[in-house]
Amino acid sequence: MVATLILNVSAIPSAIAQTGPRIGIRAGVGTDINLGLAYGAGANFLLSLPQNSLELGVVFFGGSYDETSDNGYNTYDETTDVFVFGMLANYLISYTPELPGTFYVVGFGLASVSIDWEERSATDVSLGTPLPGGGSMQSEDASGGGSVFNLGIGRTFAKGFDVRLEMPVILSFSSPGDASSVIPTVMLTAGIRF
Q: What share of the chain is helix, strand, coil (3-state, %, to 5)?
A: 5, 65, 30
What domains are there in the chain, each with its CATH number?
A: 18-193 (2.40.160.20)
CA trace torsion 62, 22, 152, 40 (10° rounding): 10
Alpha helices of the chain — where are they, by DSSP H? Answer: 14-17
- Closest Cα partner for 54 from 110, 112, 109, 111? 109
- Show pLDDT as tens, one digit a residue, over the chain (194 residues): 333 333 333 333 444 444 568 999 999 999 987 788 999 999 999 998 888 999 999 999 999 988 899 999 999 999 989 899 999 999 999 998 888 999 999 999 999 999 898 999 999 999 999 999 899 999 988 898 999 999 999 999 988 899 999 999 989 887 766 566 888 999 999 999 98
pLDDT of residue 158: 80
For 153, other C-beta atoms within 10 Å of its C-beta total: 14
- pLDDT at residue 19 in the model: 54
Q: What's the pLDDT at 14?
A: 41
Query: So what's the pLDDT on residue 194?
Result: 87
Using alpha carbons only, give the angle 179, 182, 186 rounded to the nearest 5 degrees. 115
Q: How far apart (Å, rounded) are the C-alpha atoms in residues 126 and 5?
A: 85
Q: What's residue 124's pLDDT?
A: 94
